[in-house]
A = this chain, B = another copy of it.
Amino acid sequence: MAVNLPRGFRAGAVRAGIKPSGKPDLALLASGLPASWAYAATQNRAAAPSIHRGRALYAQGGPLRAVVVNAGNANCATGERGFRDDFLMAELAARRLGLPLEEVLTASTGVIGVPLPVEKIEASLPQIALTPTVEAFAEAILTTDLVVKVAEREVAGARIVGVAKGSGMIHPNMATMLAFLVTDAKVPQEALRASWRGVVDRTFNQVTVDGDTSTNDLALLMANGAYGEVPLGPFFEAVEEVARELARKIARDGEGATKLMTVRVQGAATEEEARRAARAVAASALWKSALYGNDPNWGRILAALGNSGARFDPLKVEIRLQGIPLYRGGALPFDRERASQAMRAEEVEVFADLGEGPFSAEAFGCDLTEGYVRINALYTT
């Protein structure tokens, strides 16, 4: 299905020859109007030049008009040269669109430690045809993702469209999570920024495929106001729905994954503890392996909760898997075969009530499979 961008946005992509596969790998997203924007980026100390530049633009506080993204090369750990190349990529996009340099954000994903082929970007950027649809952009930002990830919502006549790439790996390096949400709603930059951090914390930051955070992760929200004002409560709810849908698509498409895991934790003493507890379960290698093997091994869920740092008394905890109660202050009798059958699904839900307080959270993950190991080990040598 073709998804149109909100009013005033256009996007496109081209084959620049950065991906060894020869697939489209250079993408542009632009707004006809200056957009307010919010941004969240990786905390990795080895963050790429594009992340450093994005943070600087964010701090300046001006509007944003465009994003240029390349896939196939993360332009990370490329020394001083990497900063110059990132600047050049921004400059080429700004020139192409006739925009001031500080209104163009850059993003890169792909191999680490290899200089960015700026000459390929220079040669290909002018060939990008900008259209009102999102597909070409959504495809070009992928690395080894298996599927394109797009989500959309409407709110009081305005539209929100989000696109993301997830945890694929490109030879010989790491996953990057990129997410771009654009809307034609008119939202002041302060309001956008005040809410975005929370949305990201509840969605993209609750995705875990293998516990490794990339050097290039970012999540962007742009509002160009082409439609006009909308009530902010419903607007941010819709934004969060788009972000959540993308987060789940990223988890489902994790490397080697055969199923999506949603962990819902309630009864935590604080929201942060709820989030940590949910993430700990979604990230546990032991539990992820059991999930793969359809083994209703609740002891691993309990142990992961116990490692999360969230406070609880094991005698008050309740654990359910696909709705089946497995543990309530102690092992419950349950039909192991039936529970295992219930795990043979595309989506598996883990529920835990910590019995400690009023806070809840979700996390999104996938199973750990031999495929994950093969993709990441038996592939370059």
Contact = CB atoms under 8 A, between A and B. Distances in A.
B293 A380 contact: yes
Contact of A381 (B283, B295, B300, B308): B295
A290 B215 contact: no
Contact of A293 (B291, B293, B381): B381
Choose among A45, A47, A317 the residue with the greatest number of B CB atoms under 10 Å from its CB.
Answer: A45
Contacts of A113: 298-299, 302, 327, 330-331
A297 B172 contact: yes
Given A45-B312, A370-B373, A77 B299 contact: yes
Interface string A290-315: 11111101111011111110111011
Contact of A377 (B79, B210, B292, B315): B292
Given A77-B330, A80-B315, A284-B212, A290 B376 contact: yes
Contacts of A45: 305-308, 310-312, 314
A47 B213 CA distance: 29
A289 interface: yes
A307 B213 contact: yes
A307 B377 contact: no
B299 A172 contact: yes
Contacts of A88: none
Interface string A52-92: 00000000000000000000000011111100000000000
Nearest to A299: B112
A331 B77 contact: yes
Which of A295, A297, A340, A380 has its CB near the most chain B CB atoms (within 10 A)? A297
A120 interface: no
Interface in A268-295: 283-286, 289-295
A173 interface: yes
The interface centre, meaning the residue of A113, A299, A308 with most chain B CB atoms within 10 A of its CB, is A299
A114 interface: yes
Contacts of A127: none
A380 B327 contact: no
11 contacts: A46-B317, A77-B330, A78-B330, A173-B297, A173-B299, A210-B286, A211-B284, A212-B286, A212-B307, A289-B375, A295-B377
Given A45-B310, A295-B379, A370-B374, 9 more contacts: A45-B308, A172-B299, A173-B299, A174-B300, A210-B285, A289-B376, A293-B379, A293-B380, A293-B381
For the complex of A and B, the 3 pairs showing the least CB-CB separation, nearest first, are A293-B377, A79-B330, A112-B299
